[in-house]
Structure formats: structure tokens, C-alpha cells
Structure 1
Amino acid sequence: MTARHGPDSFHALHRHGFVRVAASTPHVRTADVSFNRDAVLIEARRAHEAQVDLLVYPELCLSSYALDDLHMQSALLDAVEDALDEVVAASSELSPVLLVGAPLRQDGKLYNCAVVVSRGRILGVVPKSYLPNYREYYEKRWFAHGRGVRDRTMHLGEQDVPFGSDLLFEASDLKGFVFHVEICEDYWSAIPPSSDAALAGATILTNLSASNITIGKSDERHMLCRSQSSRAMAAYAYSAAGPGESTTDLAWDGQGAIYELGDLMAESERFSLDPQLCLADIDTQRILNERMRTGTYADAAEARAPEFRRIAFEHQPHWQDAGLIRPIRRFPYVPNRRSHLDQDCYEAFNIQVEGLRRRFEATSGSRMVIGVSGGLDSTHALIVAAKVCDKLGLPRSRILGYTMPGFATGESTKSNAWKLMRALGIEAAEIDIRPAATQMLQDMNHPFAGGEPVYDVTFENVQAGLRTDYLFRLANQNGGFVIGTGDLSEMALGWCTYGVGDQMSHYAVNTGVPKTLIQYLVRWAIQTEQFEPETNGVLKAILETKISPELVPHGEEEELQSTEDQIGPYELHDFFLFHTMRYGLPPSKVAFLAWHAWRDAQAGSWPIDFPDATKREYELAQIAEWLEVFLKRFFGFSQFKRSALPNGPKVSAGGSLSPRGDWRAPSDATAEPWLDELRRSLPS
């Protein structure tokens, strides 16, 4: 592997398309411009030390917001312009782009403005478009609105600078760093100015606000930030004025929040007497990729995006290892919102239940047939089927469960299979496939039939294939259909035998659910008592069992055949799959994210109540090793199996691998472009 340095350094934040954004709530005093100027610069220097790229201050932060008719006083407005000159001069030694709020005069009018400052110069000035004039607000008394202010300039200090509501700011030396500015009420309007800006190409939307606080308003701000970042497919950084504003009749809480594609990245402490600086690294590549793959975005941009002036500037990125400040989910498919945990699990589980229920009703059969191994996947498929019977008011004996021990079946898993079937009250039976497998191997002149311990792929697949043959014929015999057990992780890796039960069935109820989510849903079913206490005890035992195909015999001193020893940890593969399939990220970036999520026990985040055993650590070399395995299997030689998948419900927004749904790919592609990108990018 070739080492890279400078702008191509693997650990450099900017190399992977991240922009560090911060929302600042500095100290403020009503009408004390010099104090406010100094407070703004203190926070600017703090942001510089934190290697921030874009710093968003509150609305009118130089003058303070709650001034009423003092806004119309020339002495104060002159002081603001002088203070702005000093902020601009000081910014020459600072790396962040500063978005500073100030009241500014132009053509006999006063505008509520955001001034964009970078490295000693003003890049542009954006006036507020929508002025509130209801309830406690009276802004039209003092300010002119900025709607329709386009293609204008303003003279500030020694500069003539772009002025208008038609400005986008784009870094010429950091791809994806394109931002737009709006002010407070703008994003309470029916169509915020930032909507058009996003359609014109802005990836980061910002809001300088002085919104006062009332009960429930914090939730409203979160809702607006979240919805705008989701609808506009962008990041949204919001900064509201804090304590220190006048309390004549109102109070301020200093709320700061940063969202990306509907996900909360960071928020500040509210009502704090200390200045707040909430930071998050925004993934502009993720934003651009999401727009690229969502045709509706392009259609909307073509239909209504007005012309914007793009103000180019040289940002001078540091290209250093600055860490990564953003929540990274170790288990991106697994619900982890504490407030919605039960609801999210309920939805995931019942999507499967509803899919299987509809298929069962639509067929002419009366029975569901399933092979029960005592392993995780068949267990989950079986409890979904049991819940279908409960929902339809049918006896669970409509389910025909078969355990089919082979040459390597362990007593523990077979025992668990029987316990589970009995606990659920299904019709259960056992078919020993060893005689039929031996006969088939003899017919093939396989060495095993002659007494040699040859455990090759033929030996394994004879067993897997026979199980499926029995299930399909049993379905014919009993007027039913076969429920598939293979999951999304196995489909991604091609870790399934073509034409057998983990790849082929009449309905593949698990193929939209990755292994990590199945583990969690089974745990959720136990915790929420979806089934009887006896069933829960068996489910706990199955969760503790090592994942194994149980196809190769092992001696008394040997460990059970382990799937993860052969192909790698499913927790990593599910991470790789999510970021590769859902967002199309390059392998080097997937490795970068995985390393930050898994490098130590405190890194990343995991769902509530996930067992401590999942809090493992992986070094970059381990991540790269298993990522290569994933890329070879996912892009290289597994698609032909996925192209023949039976129907099955999509469960996660992370996508499915159905050839009729989220993932359509040729069966004969090569993984080389992805492998080359990874190998070129990793440090030696």
C-alpha cells in the first residue's frame, strides 16, 4: 500500500469531503457594541483553535437584537461599522469563515444583515428577506426587507462587496464547501430562501437567529432545522442569541443546532451563562451523493431554482488530521433513538410481519414451511411467521417447522431448534439428511463416501441443497410455501449457496434485514415480551450461540465452525454495506469512518442495551483487511445470486438488495476500481 501525504493524507478531514461547522453563542450586552465585538472575536479565536471552517453567529450579534428604536440611532450604527472593520482585520489570522450579524445602511434604508468574512476581507453581505411583524416582533418599523435585492454591491470599509439575497459562497479549494445564509424568520416562511439556495447547489445552509424563547419553541426550531436539512438535502446550522439580550419583556436561551440530511449532528447547551460553541463535521460528499441519486432533487432544481451569484473564495484548508466531530453509528441499521427505540423496532419487525402476512393471504396454500436450525436467521424468520398467525387469528400449527441435522449439526443448536418450535406451538418434525447426503456423495464418487475426511464446498452444499429440496417438496405435499431465512448481510457477501434456503424460497422474509438488526430485533422481542416466557428463554440461548453454517464436522477438541472467522465480523460488514450501498461512498472514506467508529471503546455509538460484547475495537489494518473481503465479495462475484432473489420486504432506509428495488447491478462486474481506490489511499 502506498503512503500519501499533504492534501491526500488518509486521516485528513478535508480529504474525505468534511467541512467543520460551528454555531456560536457569544456573550452579548444590549447596545454595547465594543463588548459584543470583543466577544465575537474571542469565539472566533476559539473556533480557529478547534480548526473550524465555518462559524455561524446569532442575528445582529454586533449590536445585539433587542434594541427597538435604538436601531435607528446613527451613533450606534457608526459603532457597528467600526466594530465590523476590526472583526474583518482580525480575521486575517483566523481560518474560519465568519458569519456575523449586523444592522447596515444602504441607499437610505437599514437592513438586518449577515456579513460573510474570510481571511481579512468581506466576501458578501446578505440582507434578511422576511421581517416578522406580529406578536412580539416589530422589525418592519426599523428594517427594509431584502427580497428582490439582487446584483447589488455595498461599500463597507475599503471594499465594495456583493450585497443581496442572491449570494452563494463557494470555496475554490475545498470541493463541496458551498454555503448559503438566511436570517431567523427566513426559515419560518412557507418557502425559505435556503430552499432555492439548496437547489442552486448550496450544501450547507446557515441561519443567524435572535429568536426569543417560549415554551415549546426549542422543539419547533429543531423541527424546522431537521425538516429543512432533510427536504433540501443539505446541512443546516442554526445559531440563536443567548442570555445577555434585553429582558424587557422576553428571554433568550442561546440554542445552537447543526443538522445533516435530517440527522442531528450537534446542539449547544441552552440557557448557559458561558459562551457556547457547538461543532460538527458536515459530510458534503454524502450530501452531494444523495442529491445525485435522488432524481426529484434535480427535477426541482430544473423547475424553480433562481439565479444566484456564486462568490468564490480561497479557503486554504489545513489538510491535517483534525479528528472527526460527528456522531458515527457503529450499527447504522440498528435503531438507536432512545425516545423512539420501541417504535423503531416495532416498525422493523412488523414490516416483515406485514409482508409475510400479505403473501400468505395471496397464495392458495394454507401452511408455511420453514427449516429451523436453531441459528439466528431461521429463529427470526420463525418468530415473524408466528406473529403472522397471531395477527390473523390462526393457530401457530399452520407453520410446519423442520430441523434437519447433518454431519456437523451440534446438539446445542438442534436442541434449541426443538425447544423453540415447541415453545411457539408450531407443528414440528425432524428429518435426518445424513443418509440422503451419503447416498448423493456416493453417487458422485466423492472421497467422503469412501471414508476420507474431505470437507470441501461440494460436501457442504450437498447438505445445504438437500435441506432445501426437502422443504420445497414438503411445501408441495402440505399445500404451503417455503419461508426463506437468508438475511441482507449474507446476500451482500454472497455467503449463501445458490438455489438453497438462505438464497432461494417462496418468500424471503429476512432479505431486507442485516445480521446486526436481526440480533437486535430478537433482543427487542424478548425485552418487550412479544412471546411467551418459555419462548423468551430459548431466544436468549440462541442469541448467545456462535454464528455457524454447521456444515463441517469438528472433533471434541475443535471449535465449532465459525462464519465470522472465515469472512469477517458482521458488525463491520454491515457498516461497510450501509455506507457503500446507501450513499455510494468510496472505500477509503468507508474505512475512515469505520476507524473513527471502532478504534476504541469510547468511539462511535451503539444502540441502547446492546451487549458489551459488541463494543469491540478494530485497528485500521483490521478494518482494511475485512473491507477488502467485503469489496471482493460484494462487487466481484455475488451479484448473480442477488439477481435471482425471491420477493421479500424492504425494511431499512439503508436499502435492500432486491434486483427489483434498491440495487440493480450486472452479475459480471469486477471489484478492481474499488480495491484500487482503497489500496491507493491507505497509509503504508
Structure 2
Amino acid sequence: MRPSGMHELSFHNLYRHGFVRVAAATPRVALANPEENAARIIEMAKEADAERVALVLFPELCISGYAIDDLLQQDALLGAVRTAIARIVDASASLRPLLLVGAPLMLNDRLYNAALAIQGGRILGIVPKSYLPNYREFYEGRHFTPASGASADCVRLLGDDIPFGSDLIFEAPKLPGFAVHAEICEDVWVPVPPSTAAAFAGATILANLSASNVTIGKSDYRHALCRVHSGRCFAAYLYSAAGIGESTTDLAWDGHAMIYENGTLLAEAERFARTPQLTIADVDVGLLQQERLRHGTFGDCATAHSRDMRRISFDFAPPDDAVLPLNRTVPRFPYVPADTARLDELCFEAYNIQVSGLAQRLEAAHIQRIVIGVSGGLDSTQALLVACQAFDELRLPRENILAYTLPAFATSASTRSNAWDLMRALGVTAHEIDMSPVCRQTLEDIGHPFARGEPVYDITFENVQAGARTATLFRLANFHDAIVLGTGDLSELALGWCTYGVGDHMSHYNVNASVPKTLIQHLIRWVAQTHRFDEAASEVALRVLDTEISPELVPGEADGDAPAQRTEDFVGPYELQDFNLYYTTRHGFAPSKVAFLSLHAWRDVAAGAWPPNFPDTKRNAYELADIRKWLGVFLKRFFQTSQFKRSAVPNGPKVGSGGSLSPRGDWRAPSDASAQVWIKELERSVPLR
């Protein structure tokens, strides 16, 4: 969702679309030298400001240094800390970001390990550390008082009364969703971190000022803490640990900084770096708010475990740059991970979900045969591979898979050959039924011009063929005591690219129902490359990947084999439409935000930028005009013209977290809704270039 008040910002500015640029800083620390540390903090704050950052997180006790032991109790040092704080506050008056800085503070005769929130020339609040480690190498209990020991919720510092406590949320009214909570190191290592209550109260960005010395394997545990906590809280989690300059008398430090968003790592500092680092990423607070909205149990848990929090407003004006692109990776294929290992795991799970779903349906229905139409294209190939695996696991003969290729007026020789070669290689019972006579008879019965020899290839001409094929498969299933296995995929259903009722829309069970087109091809390749079947079947399956996507319902050249129809000429590139589908249904983003993300993902397709596990995918690039055009097609087809088809889909297993469109699963919508809200938002908010 776009925050209100952001309309005046340029479409090409990330802040207009619910993003907030944040940074985790790891400065070089000068031990027990607050003056030098203040200078270094200010320098990094200025660097962040130039990068249009809204929030900068510094490490724990970075003004004094963490590993200084009893020097923390020296009046001279504590006085120098206050002087350094005043210097940082003065410098912040000319800077945009909110700064979270760590310092030891003597307040009301007690010493606190504190985080100071500084912005616009003032201290917004002070957050004391809640949990003080006093085990193994840690002796914080020797020096500090925990937050629970505070005697007041407001303290006097540098002549001002300042909110004090672990219950502070810092929020910027001019950038809705930008709400920050700070905690310190050990606070996230306990079972219930203070930031949990802050997330329940609306904080979207949780920040941890840490020292955290390094030991073997500790970085993995830090990752686990930040990843899981950000995911469970539907929040961003920033973590910045002390690095170079800290005392190595007994400990070592790696300067580990991370930025997580809802369980996903956005950016990470180089560990053990010898120079200061500013780790920057753009956090999608709009996404975080959507996730909290969609997961009702988050709100239920917040109600059960709520805690009063104080909200501190600060004046933050988003940068108004005409062009401010994202500093984060947006995957071109949200349904398909670019990492080879993750893709292999995803394909393993998706394929086996399909297989186990079909096997369970056959066992529950006491059915030992299926009927399937095999076109020689992507979807029917994947469905047939799944069927063979399911029959093998049920120890049913593959001859019980009754596979039919059903050529009509526009079937090409290549797809017909693919179908026959695949059926033979897999050892199923293969047949061919020419659908031309029954289609011609139907066209003649309804008085269609084609029956009189006129080359009229309208929607009726196409649907007569699709309907005849499915009707034949259902009658074959009746005749052989079988069920019809559907083959249509999630992308086709989203775009309404299927013939309703007795057409490719309908079956007894559909294993591809929630699998998008961009994933289907990777599943086929994975099945072939992992040798689920013999070499002949794998070779045919890989050949299918090179076949043009076409319904083959309109005749082409008399002597040519290329299809006259290219599906993507009508509904748009599937790689682009799957992108639109994911961000529209999974996250509920406005069209303008979908377009902004799409432009970031698809504008530049440079050498080396394409995932290495996408060898057979065309390396297309799309400019904003293309993105706007096909997003408009998507919005009209998805919201206005095809919901009635999704309201009556057959059973099929949900495969991925990207969702399904079954009304019994992830997506429920009225069939008679209008798409105007989405189309107008697109036209009003997305420029042509």
C-alpha cells in the first residue's frame, strides 16, 4: 500500500511506494575516547544522509567502546560521553536520518547501557538495556542497572526532559509505517525480546545495538535469531555488532551487521573488515503492514500479550528526489528461487506434493485408472510425469494411465510428435482421436461460417475444439471407470486463459492447479535432470521446453509447423504476468507499486545478471511502457473477466507459499466485481516512461 501523503513524490522514488531506506553502521571504535567516536559517528551519519537513508543504527556503547570494563565507572569518561552526545545532537540538526547510538549514561545515580534516539537536533528518547548478561565472558551486572530498575520514565539530559524506557516507539507521521523500536544486544537472545511488544504495538522496524563478541559458529546463531524474530514479528530487524577497535585482551569482534525483513536477509556487512562499513537496504514497510493484516493470529497474539507503549513522533520528510531507485534485489521470478540449491529443494517439494495429492485422491476414490489429454506442451507434460510417478508409488501399472492426444484443425506436427514420443517413452496406454469431425459437426449444427468453408476463427471456433476435447475425456473416463486428470496451471487460471465448464477449465482433479507457468518449466527440467524416468522420457521432456506456448486452436500456414497463435501475444509474457500475479495476490500491492517493483526487476537484463539455473528462459527486458501495458491486461483479466472460472475450479493441491486461486483456499472474490479501482490507480499513478 502507498502511504497517504506520498502522492507528491515521483513514481520513481522508492519512498512513494512504502519503502524506507535504513543502514546498519559499524564504525571503527576508539576505546575510551568519546570525542573521537563522536567524530566517526557523525561522519558515518553524514554518509548515510547523502545516501538518502532514514535510519542509521550504530553498535552498543559505541560512544565509549564496549570492552572497557571498570573504565565505565570513571567520572571523566562519563562526562566525556555527555559532551560527545551533545556534539552528535548538534550535528544531527542538519541531517535527515534518525540515529540510534549506544552510550553509557549516569541517570538518577544509576548507570545504564543505553540507546539514544537522535534526530533533527534533539534527543527523542533513551532506551535502557533490559537484560544484562552476567555469565561466561560477560560482566554487565557489575556496572549497569537493567531497564526494570529504572526509577522514572523521564530523565534530564543536556537540559531537556527526555522519555526513558524500553517502551518507546519512534514514528514519523510524514512517512506512515516508519515506526522504530530499539533494544540492545542480549535483549534479542532472551525468550521474549522487548521488541515483541513493540511489534504488537505497530513498530515495523526493530533495531538492535549490539556488541556481541565473536566465537566460532556464533554468526550462524545471530542469523537465526534475526531471521526468525523478524519473521515471527512481521518486521524488519536491524543488527549492528561492535567491530574493529574494540579491545582484544580476552575477546574478538567481527563487526557483524545484518538487515532482515520478514525472515529474508536483505543485506549483510563483511565480517572482520578493517574499515568502517555502512550496510544499506530498503525495507518494505508496506509489505510488513500487509502481512500483519493478512495474518489474523498476529493481531490475536497482540491482543493477548499487549503492553502499553509510548509513541514518540519526529519530523522526518522523505527525500523528494525525482529518481531514487531501490537498493535491494527484486527477483524477476518470485515463484522460482534463483539459488540452485533452493530451487532444487523447491522442485523436490512441489513435485512430491503433486504426486502425493494425486495418489491420495486415487486411493480415496478407489480408482485405478486416469484419463489425460496430452498436447505435447508444458502443462500436460508435467501432469503426465506426475501421474506416472504416482502410479509407480501406488504400484499400479502405467498402462492404467489412458493418455490421449486429440489433434484438431490447428495441431502442429511438432506438438503431436512430442505427445506421442512422451506417451511411448513413459509406457502409458496411448491413443489418438482426431477431433476434427466432431468439431466440424458441432460448427455445422450451430450454423458457424467455418462449416460453410469460410475462414472464420472466432472464439466460438476455438471453444468448440476445447469443449469437444474435454467432453471426450470425461466420456472416456466414464467408459473406463477412471477420473480425468486436469493439466491447466495457475497462470492460465489467473488470466482466465481456459475454456469454462466442459473445457480445459474442468477435470476431476488437477495437479497443476496452483503451479504457475514459470515454475512448470523448471519442474519438468528438474524431473528430467534428476532421472526420475529413463533417458528417452527425459529427452522428450526437455524437448517440450523449447515448444512455443500456444493453444493451437487457429490454423497457421498450410505448409508450416509454427503455430498461428502465440499465447503470450494475447495475455502477455508469462514471466511478467506471474510477477504481477504474485505481488497482487500474495501481498495485495497497488498496481503502481507492482509496476515500480517490476521496473526494478526487469528493466536491465545485463550479462551475468541472469540466474544461472534459468538456461532455457528468454532473457527479456521490459521498459515501463511494456510493464504498464501488460499490467493493465492482467488487472482487467484477473479482477473483472475471469473470477467466475476460479469460483468453480476442480480440486487440486496447494503447492507453494505464493498461494492458490481456489475459493476453498487462498483466494475468494465475487465474480461480478469491477476492475476499475485497480485500472484507474494504474492509469493515474504509473507514467508511460
Structure 1 and Structure 2 fold alike (TM over 0.5) = yes
- Residue 592 in structure 1 maps to residue 596 in structure 2: yes
Task: Identify the residue that residue 641 of structure 2 maps to in structure 1.
Answer: 637
Alignment of 1:529-548 (within 5 A): 529-548=531-550
Q: Does the 8 A contact of 1:331 with 1:606 survive in 2? A: no
Distance (whole Å) between structure 2 residues aligned to residue 612 and residue 439 of structure 1: 41
Match of 2:568 in 1: 564
Which one of 445, 450, 458 corresponds to residue 452 of structure 2? 450
Could you tell me which residue of structure 2 aligns to residue 465 of structure 1?
467
Q: CA deviation at 1:326?
A: 1.4
Distance of aligned partners of 1:148 and 1:602 in 2 relative to their CA distance in 1, 3 Å threshold: farther
Judge which range, 432-441 or 607-616, deviates more. 607-616
> Which position in structure 1 is the counterpart of 2:400?
398
**Residue of structure 2 in register with 1:626 after alignment:** 630
Gaps spanning 5+ residues in structure 1: where? none
Q: Compared with structure 1, are the counterparts of its residues 393 and 364 closer, same or farther at alpha carbon in structure 2 (3 Å cutoff)?
A: closer
Distance in 2, matches of 1:129 and 1:327, equals 35
Structure 2 Cα separation of the partners of residues 132 and 101 of structure 1: 17
Measured in 2, the distance between the counterparts of 1:17 and 1:367 equals 52
Distance 1:322 1:604 in 2: 24
Change beyond 3 A, Cα 1:150–1:554: farther
Q: By how many angstroms is 1:615 displaced?
A: 2.8
Supply the distance in 1 between the matched residues of 2:182 and 2:540 (Cα, whole angstroms): 57
Aligned residue for 2:147, secondary structure, equals coil
Q: Deviation at 1:149?
A: 4.2
Aligned partner letter, 1:220: Y
Checking the alignment, whether the CA contact within 8 Å between 1:596 and 1:603 is kept in structure 2 is no
CA distance in 2, matches of 1:607, 1:223: 26
Partner of 2:364: 362
The 5 Å alignment of 1:78-227 reads: 78-147=79-148, 149=150, 152-227=153-228
Rounded Cα–Cα distance in structure 2 between residues aligned with 1:333 and 1:606: 15
Give the 3-state SS of the residue equivalent to 1:93 in structure 2: coil
TM-aligned CA deviation for residue 107 of structure 1 = 1.2
Paired letter, 2:456: V
Could you tell me which amino acid in structure 2 is paired with residue 621 of structure 1? A
Shift in Å, 1:395: 2.3
Residue aligning to 1:440 = 442
How far off is 1:364 after superposition?
2.4
Deviation at 1:561, TM superposition (A): 1.2
**How far 1:602 moved relative to its partner?**
4.2
Structure 1 counterpart of 2:173, one-letter code: S
* C-alpha deviation, 1:501, in angstroms: 4.8
Q: Aligned equivalents of 1:299 and 1:614: distance in 2? A: 46
What per-residue deviation string (whole Å, max 9, x for no partner) do you get for residues 557-613 of structure 1? 675310001110001110001111011100000000000000111499764411264
What amino acid maps onto 1:112 in structure 2? N
Structure 1 residue 155 displacement after superposition = 1.8
What is the aligned partner in structure 1 of residue 280 from structure 2? 279
Deviations 1:29-68, CA, capped at 9 Å, x for gaps? 2222222112211211111111110011111111111111
The change in CA–CA distance for 1:307 and 1:113 in structure 2 (over 3 A counts) is same
Whether 1:42 and 2:38 are equivalent positions in the alignment is: no
Alpha carbons of structure 1 residues 96 and 596: separation in structure 2 relative to 1, 3 Å: same
Report if the CA contact (8 A) 2:555-2:563 is conserved: no
Counterparts of 1:538 and 1:149, CA distance in 2: 72
CA–CA separation in structure 1 for the residues paired with 2:596 and 2:246: 42
CA gap of 1:138–1:323, structure 2 versus 1, over 3 A, is: same
Q: 1:613 to 1:381 in 2, by over 3 A?
A: closer
In structure 2, do the counterparts of structure 1 residues 615 and 148 end up closer, same or farther at CA, with 3 Å as the change threshold? farther
What is the CA distance between 1:76 and its match in structure 2?
0.9
* Distance across 2 between alignment mates of 1:420 and 1:94: 66
Match of 1:15 in 2: 16
Tell me, what secondary structure is at the counterpart of 2:22?
strand
Taking the TM superposition and a 5 Å limit, the aligned residue runs for 1:142-541 are: 142-147=143-148, 149=150, 152-320=153-321, 321-541=323-543
Shift of 1:638: 0.4
Deviation at 1:319, TM superposition (A): 2.5
The answer to whether residue 53 in structure 2 is matched with residue 52 in structure 1 is: yes
Measured in 2, the distance between the counterparts of 1:471 and 1:659 equals: 25
Identity of aligned residues (%): 59
Distance in 2 (CA, whole Å) between partners of 1:472 and 1:382 is 17
Structure 2 vs 1, CA of residues 374 and 450 (structure 1 numbering), >3 Å: closer, same or farther? same
1:501-520 CA-to-partner distances (Å, cap 9, x unmatched) read: 53110001111100001111
Alignment check: 8 A CA contact 1:44 1:55 kept: yes
Cα contact 2:213–2:253 (8 A) shared by 1:
yes
What amino acid is aligned across from residue 399 of structure 1 in structure 2?
Answer: I
Amino acid aligned to 1:340 = R
Structure 2 residue 660 is matched with structure 1 residue 656: yes
Alignment coverage as a number of residue pairs: 681
Aligned partners of 1:416 and 1:542 also within 8 Å? yes
Cα displacement (A) at 1:102 = 0.4
Between 261-270 and 500-509, the greater mean CA deviation after superposition: 500-509
| Alpha-carbon distance in structure 1 between the residues aligned to 2:168 and 2:600 | 35
